[in-house]
Amino acid sequence: MAAVLRTRITQLLGIDHPILGGGLMWLSDARYVAALVNAGCMGFITPRSYASEADFRDALALCAELTHGKPFGVNLTLSHRPEANAMVPRWMDAALAQGVRIFETAGHAPAELIAALHRANAIVVHKASSIRHALSAERAGADAIALVGMEEGGHPGTNELPTMLMGALAQGQFSVPVVLGGGIGRGRQLAAALAQGLDGVLIGSRFLVCEEIRTHPRYKEHLLTCDEHSTVRLLQSLGSTWRVLRNETARQVQAIEQAGARDHAAFGDLISGTTTRDRCYAQGDWQQGMASLGPSIAFARRIEPLQAIVDGLVAEAVQAIAALRAITATDALDAMNSMEQKR
Ligand SMILES: Cc1cc2nc3c(=O)[nH]c(=O)nc-3n(C[C@H](O)[C@H](O)[C@H](O)COP(=O)(O)O)c2cc1C
């Protein structure tokens, strides 16, 4: 698909389409990120998914090979627990050594990380789930913002506001490019983000059924049966909201939470990431594990190459924009301008 939608984010990141694939724990590996990049988008490898730094370095090298010199990105998610961030500087150095210069940061207190990345001449897209956090990331130097609403699969923070409203609230508040995420799965929504004056979209859930995502076929087949009610937000009461697939584990977690549990230990292995990786993603037992997922999975109709999904999104966005032009009277802008002058 030709580069037909040019915005400040396509310019900043040197990509064809204003579409970013957000980092996906366990799933955004070299093959998937390379597929995003080769489809004209930007993707981010998640170092936390790898058992060792050496495995992460191998993934970086493989992604460089598969993208034939095109830039690709790395996701650095910061935990609110300092001990869980001990490896972040090493992952950053490993990525920089491989030539990576585009990073998606997410999570708690990113200012120091943004400064360190800038010292290495990297571009930082910071993902935030509230306007307040996004503005403070911009003040800390983020080069672009990914603003996510409560529809987001994974960890949308304590934000209760939907993506469409977040997009509208963002207008006029930022000087850096802003992309909108959470619940995006149609080209018309990309057109809507652009109509809101934003620079593109960030997608996770909709891409989970692409061929290049490495999960068990049974899991992908199950995702095709999901609709917009197939996900649930849990753990709000602990301040660590998590939007996941409605399955047996989610029901058990909900029951423990509703019974008054107030710390993570009460959930034991139910919320352990390796259960999701091993039982759900690797073995295809989709009833087991907390599988990050948002309602935009409802838009997934078939398992297909990522390129086909991206091309469909861009084509639909262009059609939507053309349809808007067709219903706009040719002299509409003149009429608006003269009304403005009279005010
Ligand atoms: C399976 C899955 C895993 C995710 N893991 C991470 C992660 O490790 N770090 C992160 O910053 N965001 C993570 N996210 C959030 C995505 O990067 C992205 O912000 C989100 O998927 C966008 O919302 P959507 O799912 O409604 O498209 C994850 C999302 C999903 C669906």
What pLDDT is attached to residue 113? 97
Ligand 1 nearest-atom number relative to CA 184? 27
Q: Closest residue (by CA) to atom 6 of ligand 1?
A: 24
Q: Please tell me the distance from the alpha carbon of residue 220 to that of residue 213, in angstroms, as a whole number.
A: 9
Ligand 1 nearest-atom number relative to CA 104? 11
Q: Rounded to the nearest 5 degrees, what angle is found at the Cα of 162, between the Cα atoms of 233 and 296?
A: 65
Q: Please tell me the distance from the alpha carbon of residue 273 to that of residue 49, in angstroms, as a whole number.
A: 10
Ligand 1 in reach of 62 Cβ (< 6 A): no
Q: From ligand 1's centre to the CA of 328, what distance in Å?
A: 36
What pLDDT is attached to residue 337? 83
Task: For residue 74, list its beta bridge partners.
Answer: 45, 103
Q: From ligand 1's centre to the CA of 164, what distance in Å?
A: 18
Query: Within the chain, which residues score under 70 in pLDDT?
Result: none
Q: Please tell me the distance from the alpha carbon of residue 74 to that of residue 193, in angstroms, as a whole number.
A: 24
- What 3 state SS string does 265-300 have? HHHHHHHCHHHHHHHHHHCCCCCCCCCECCHHHHHC
Whether the CB-CB separation of 154 and 242 falls below 8 Å is answered with: yes
Domains by residue range for the chain, with CATH:
8-214+299-318 (3.20.20.70), 231-292 (no CATH)
What pLDDT is attached to residue 341? 82
Ligand 1 in reach of 28 Cβ (< 6 A): no
Whether the CB-CB separation of 156 and 129 falls below 8 Å is answered with: yes
Q: From ligand 1's centre to the CA of 34, what distance in Å?
A: 17
Q: Could you tell me whether strands 242-245 and 231-234 are parallel, antiparallel, or unpaired per DSSP bridges?
A: antiparallel
What pLDDT is attached to residue 254? 98
Task: Report pLDDT digits (tens) over 260-278.
Answer: 998 999 999 999 999 999 9
Q: From ligand 1's centre to the CA of 204, what distance in Å?
A: 5
Ligand 1 nearest-atom number relative to CA 146? 19
Q: From ligand 1's centre to the CA of 7, what distance in Å?
A: 23
